[in-house]
């Protein structure tokens, strides 16, 4: 079972990603968009870790942020009758 981060921990991890990885969070989110079509959260985290050599916490924060933004985009789209 995966560890759940608090919102504060999530934001702190996101803020450190550019310094630790040399890439902005937006670049990582684009990488996830362009990556393989994996379904499960932990599969996406494992892919980021293996393919891009990220620490577990950073990979998890990136995938969580990606999922949050995708859900927000989905909710903001108008519903068709």
Average pLDDT, the chain: 89
Q: Which two tokens stand for residue 15?
A: 């803020």
Rounded CA separation 30/44 (Å) = 13
Q: What is the pLDDT of residues 27-48, one digit of tens each?
A: 999 999 999 999 999 999 999 9
73, 61 contact by CB (below 8 A): no
Domain residues of the chain, as ranges?
A: 7-76
- Average pLDDT (11-34) is 96
Q: DSSP letters along 25-64, please?
A: HHHHHHHHHHS----SHHHHHHHHHHHH---HHHHHHHHH
């Amino acid at each position: 079972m995966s560890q759940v981060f608090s919102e504060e921990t999530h934001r702190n991890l996101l803020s450190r990603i550019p310094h630790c990885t040399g890439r902005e969070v937006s670049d990582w989110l684009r990488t996830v968009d362009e990556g393989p079509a994996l379904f499960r959260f932990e599969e996406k985290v494992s892919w980021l870790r293996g393919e891009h050599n990220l620490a577990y916490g950073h990979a998890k924060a990136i995938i969580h942020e990606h999922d949050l933004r995708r859900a927000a985009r989905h909710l903001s789209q108008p519903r068709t009758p």
